[in-house]
Structure 1
Amino acid sequence: MKITIIGATGMTGSALVAEALRRGHSVTALARSAEKLATLPANPNLTTKVQDAFTLTAADLTTTDVVIDAFATAPSLAFQHVDLATRLVAELRETTHPRLVFILGAGSLQTGDDHHLFVNDIAKDPNAASFLSIPQNQLKELNFLRDVDNVNWVGVSPAANFHAGAATPFLVGDDELLVNANQESETSSGTMAVAILDEIEQPQHHQVRFTVADK
């Protein structure tokens, strides 16, 4: 399978590159830094490309089977999460190929007895002002996607603590923030990569968001 990964040098993107290559897929890794792309492991199935994701056209996108949006940016530019999603969708309206996979934040998940949005809890963090715009805009991104019914998309959210690390056995849910038996809500980048590749190889979700957490 041909898989294009936007933001391939970030925490999630690099884990996705490694997992996709491990499974024998053909990967095109996109990033804005040639220096960072050069740090990805050499592999005959890996093609690296310096490209701004906002310049991708339908002609670029339709040469691959799956496009994974692992885009990350500074909090001051968090609106670009929404902008990129809208651009990718606009380029692929009324198509089923390629499939779009969006990595969304945990802030759009529901939690508590009243099923409130987790972003409301994040906002209570005394240090939230420095990063709150990211989960807020990822919520806007999901809300936009939920109105898209003529593009083949799926979204994936991590648990509350999304961190670098190896894959573990994991839990899968829908819109509720997941916690494990120890009441921990964590997702490693390796777990996220495995869950996404599992979904790509054996689709279980269509035009919805699901969530994964380390068991």
Structure 2
Amino acid sequence: MKLLIIGATGMAGSALTATALDRGHQVTALGRSAEKLAQLPAHANLTTVAKDAFSLTKTDLDHYDVVIDAMATPPTQAYLHVDLATKLVAALRDTTQPRLVFILGAGSLKTGADDHLFVHDLEKDPAAEAFIAVPQNQLSELQFLQTVTNVDWVGLSPAADFHAGPAVPAVLGTDQLLVNAQGVSATNAGTMAVAVLDEIEKPQHHQTRFTVANR
């Protein structure tokens, strides 16, 4: 398949790019920095494009089977998560291709006996002011996507600790924050990438969000 990966030089995006290429897909890696894109390993099926995702047109998107939004932002620009989701959806209303895949945060997952949103736990962190805008805006992004019924989209959230690392055995869920038998809630970027490519190759979820964690 022809895949466009937005934010291909970030932690999630670079893992997605490597995994997609390993599986034989044609990948266009999009990022704002030509220098960072040049650091991606060369591959016959890889094309790099230094471009602002907000300048993508419907004509640009129509070249692909799947568009993956793995954009990362600093907290001061966390609103861009919502803005890019709305732009991509607006461009593809009443279409079934390309499929849109969104890498969401863990803050929108539910946890605890009362099923409260995990973002509310994050808001209690003494250091929250430095980062909380990102999970808050990723929650808003999901809430927007949940209103969309005429675009083929899917979202995927990691566990509480999302970090770089290889793919490991995983467990999937829906809206609950996942914790393994050792009490750890973590997702490696490689684990996330495998879950995304599995979903792309054999779709199981449509117009919904699911979650993946290291087993």
TM-score by length of 2: 1.00
Match of 1:8 in 2: 8
Residue 74 (str. 1) matches residue 79 (str. 2)? no
Residue 86 (str. 1) matches residue 86 (str. 2)? yes
SS at match of 2:95: coil
**In 2, distance between residues paired with 1:14 and 1:80?**
20
Equivalent residue letter for 2:110: Q
Match of 2:103 in 1: 103
User: Structure 2 unaligned runs (5+)?
Assistant: none
**In 2, distance between residues paired with 1:167 and 1:124?**
31
Q: Cα RMSD between the aligned structures?
A: 0.3
Structure 1 position 183, deviation (Å):
1.0
Structure 1 position 154, deviation (Å):
0.1
Equivalent residue letter for 1:4: L
Match of 1:193 in 2: 193
Match of 2:58 in 1: 58
**In 2, distance between residues paired with 1:19 and 1:138?**
24
**In 2, distance between residues paired with 1:41 and 1:15?**
12
SS at match of 1:72: coil
Match of 1:117 in 2: 117
**In 1, distance between residues paired with 2:193 and 2:110?**
23
**In 2, distance between residues paired with 1:210 and 1:62?**
25
**In 1, distance between residues paired with 2:119 and 2:52?**
29
Paired positions, count:
215
SS at match of 1:67: strand
Residue 140 (str. 1) matches residue 140 (str. 2)? yes
- Superimposed CA distance per residue, residues 134-185 of structure 1 (whole angstroms, 9 cap, x where no aligned partner): 0000000000000000000000000000000000000000000000111110
Equivalent residue letter for 1:52: D
Identity of aligned residues (%): 68
**In 2, distance between residues paired with 1:82 and 1:195?**
23
**In 1, distance between residues paired with 2:21 and 2:94?**
30
- Superimposed CA distance per residue, residues 95-128 of structure 1 (whole angstroms, 9 cap, x where no aligned partner): 0000000000000000000000000000111001
Structure 1 position 66, deviation (Å):
0.3
**In 2, distance between residues paired with 1:57 and 1:147?**
22
Equivalent residue letter for 1:89: V
- Superimposed CA distance per residue, residues 54-90 of structure 1 (whole angstroms, 9 cap, x where no aligned partner): 0011100010000000001110000000000000000
Structure 1 position 202, deviation (Å):
0.4
Structure 1 position 36, deviation (Å):
0.2
Equivalent residue letter for 2:130: S
**In 2, distance between residues paired with 1:179 and 1:204?**
22
TM-score by length of 1: 1.00
